Amino acid sequence: MRRAIPLLLIGLSCVACNGTQKKHENPVLIQAPRRVAQVEPDEDAKIASAAAVQEAADSDDRIQTASGLKSDPWADWKDDSAIFNSKVAATVNGAPILNGDVLDKYSGVVITAREQMQFMWSHPEKLQPGQPRPMPEDFEQFREMLVKRDLAGHIQRRLLVERMKSSLKPDQIKAMDSHIDQLFDAEIKKLKGELKVSTRTELELELNKKGTTLQNVKDNFATERLAMEYIVMKSEKPEPLDRLDLVAYYKEHVDEFAIEPKVQWEHIQISFGPERSKSEAKKRIEAAAQELANGEPFDQVARKYSDGSTAKTGGQRDWMGPGNLTDTKLEKLLFETPVGRLSPPHEGPSEWQIVRVIDRQKAARTPFGEVQDEIRSKIEEGQNKNRSKKLFEELLEEAIIETKFDAPKT
């Protein structure tokens, strides 16, 4: 088994999603990825010098791969995209879902991934040390991973749309198709803007370059919209939320609305070590303390004596919560010293410090009135997920699904 290729993380991390097993609890309701991915090959790789290309090619002539292929396995590999896309990934009540149905919204990304792999084979100097050169089977594994990862969502949507259409009369289906056409007109305007074209013909040509068609984009759009509308139409609507529901959530999730204590402070730091002894550093911090006692401004004394990272800015530090300092005694001092009072010289692991608290905020909780709208949204989101899950469970019990991948779960 070949190792996973880090190349796929270059510009494609939004697609790969850290593995092939990621599943969404509710693939229907999540925001769909953009249907047309405008991912471009690495520009630095494109402009590699002719000398480097030739050197890599000369080197390839002397390389034999583990599978016994000649220098460039990509030269003997024939693009099987049409065949792969026509294969059945799953059947839902006898109706097929093809690999191409799942991959359509990733068509541009898949093309770019293949081009990058082919390029990196010819330019091994672009690879990380120890990284294997990408082979055709790596591309095939990547392509199948996308199908495996997204198939469950397509099965769910197919079940929902199939049930919706079976419950409608012919005139209702006609009205529904008209409604989808109107919604897709707005989607076309959005796609034109994304692809920087002005006419439908130009849009079709740009989509063709990315391995898809306007009709494919529309079909996917229609399926997603119909699935969502069926969930809204058929799911049992929960009882409206009242103030008592929101207050109950607020009390049960106090940690979500906690405000941790924090402190804003300033300091003068005198380090000790190989270049300055502890006693010398102590004398210097005591001199700084004396000037502060004489009424000298803190920022001027800090600029004069401190060797800390904030010396040039007068020793001022930003707001800080608990657990941010390795010197726990100093942190305790900061959270206990009254605001505005100078601390006595404090000995740390490798420095002496004088600190002063500028302001402090105690631990608290965000008031209910400021978060009640947020709470309402969270509760409603959870209700929607439960509604769609219940509906899909009912459909799944009645469905006959065949696939070589894992069966979809609710």
- Per-residue DSSP letters for 195-256? HT--SHHHHHHHHHHTT--HHHHHHHHHHHHHHHHHHHHHSPPPPPP-HHHHHHHHHHTGGG
**Burial class (CB within 10 angstroms; exposed 0-12, middle 13-18, buried 19+) of 278:** middle
**What pLDDT sits at residue 407?**
61
pTM above the 0.75 mark? no
Helix (H, G, I), strand (E, B) or coil at 384: helix
Residue 63 has a pLDDT of 42
CA distances from 359 to 231, 240, 341, 354, 355 (A): 52, 44, 11, 16, 12
Give yes or no for a contact between 90 and 155, defined as CB atoms under 8 angstroms apart: yes
319: CB partners within 8 A, 6+ apart: 262, 263, 264, 361
pLDDT at 188: 93
Smallest Cα–Cα separation from 108: which of 185, 223, 15, 218? Answer: 15
Helices 200-209 and 170-195, interaxial angle, to 10°?
Answer: 80
For residues 379 and 386, the answer to whether their CB atoms sit within 8 Å is no
pLDDT in tens, the chain (410 residues): 444 444 443 344 343 343 333 333 333 333 333 333 333 333 433 333 333 333 443 444 334 444 444 578 998 899 899 899 999 999 999 889 999 999 998 988 999 999 999 999 999 998 988 889 999 999 999 999 999 999 988 998 888 888 888 888 889 889 888 988 999 999 999 999 999 999 999 999 998 888 889 998 898 888 888 887 787 777 666 678 889 999 999 999 989 999 999 999 999 999 999 989 999 999 999 999 999 999 999 999 999 999 999 999 999 999 999 999 999 999 999 999 999 999 999 999 999 999 999 999 999 999 999 999 999 999 888 877 777 777 778 888 888 899 988 766 65
Cα separation, 40 vs 48, in Å, equals 16
Cα–Cα distance for residue pair 179/233, rounded to 1 Å: 15
Q: How far apart are the first and last CA of the chain?
A: 32
In 3D space, the residue among 20, 33, 11 whose CA is nearest the CA of residue 145 turns out to be: 20
DSSP per position, 148-175: HHHHHHHHHHHHHHHHHHHTS-HHHHHH
CA distance 154 to 32: 11
Strand 346-347 relative to strand 262-271, pairing: unpaired
Taking alpha carbons only, the member of 97, 143, 148, 120 closest to residue 45 is 120
Give pLDDT, residue 408.
64
* Residues contacting 35, CB < 8 A, separation 6+: 104, 105, 191, 212, 217, 220, 221
Determine the pLDDT at residue 199.
Answer: 94
CB-based burial label for 393 (10 Å; 0-12, 13-18, 19+): exposed
Strand partners, 263: 320, 360
Pairing of strands 346-347, 258-259: unpaired
Compute and round to an integer the Cα radius of gyration of the chain. 32
Q: From residue 249, how far is each of 20, 238, 364 by CA, in Å?
A: 35, 16, 18
Tokens of 212: 């898809």
Task: For residues 348 and 182, give the distance between their C-alpha atoms in angstroms, rounded to a whole number.
Answer: 69
Domains and CATH numbers, the chain: 6-238+388-403 (no CATH), 261-362 (3.10.50.40)
Residue 163 backbone phi and psi in degrees, to 5: -65, -40
Alpha carbon distance 301, 63 (integer Å): 67
Residues 353 and 282 sit within 8 Å (Cβ to Cβ): no
C-alpha separations of 325 from 43, 285, 321, 322, 331 in Å: 43, 20, 9, 8, 6
